[in-house]
């Protein structure tokens, strides 16, 4: 499976900020729900910039959550796709 450079950068950023080992999966899940709420608001307002930002933020949080669980986001995507 190919590794996407953006996910590598996200994981590095998260480790530098101690978001992987210094946070909990519960906190990341709460953050994910917050980001989904912002995405929903963007959709309701038909605000393309907010929608794109919400999707991107959710992907970042999911990448961190996967890392906390000992998975790679790439493996999660591949499993879902298959």
Burial of 54 (0-12, 13-18, 19+ CB in 10 A): buried
Q: Can you give the C-alpha Rg of the chain in angstroms?
A: 13
Q: What is the average pLDDT value for the chain, to the nearest integer?
A: 95
Judge whether residue 1 has pLDDT over 60. Answer: no
Distance CA 17, CA 41 (A): 28
Judge whether residue 4 has pLDDT over 90. Answer: no
Residue 57 CA to its chain's centroid (Å)? 6
Q: Which two tokens stand for residue 55?
A: 């999707």
In 1-82, DSSP assigns E strands to none
pLDDT score for 20 = 96
Q: Look at residues 33, 41, 79 and name the one whose alpha carbon lies nearest to residue 58.
A: 33
């Amino acid at each position: 499976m190919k590794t996407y450079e953006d996910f590598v950068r996200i994981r590095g950023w998260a480790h530098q900020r101690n978001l992987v080992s210094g946070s909990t999966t519960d906190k990341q899940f709460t953050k994910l729900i917050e980001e989904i709420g912002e995405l929903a608001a963007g959709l309701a307002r038909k605000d393309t910039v907010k929608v794109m930002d919400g999707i991107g933020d959710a992907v970042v949080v999911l990448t961190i959550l996967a890392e906390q669980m000992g998975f790679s986001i790439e493996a999660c995507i591949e499993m879902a796709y298959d």
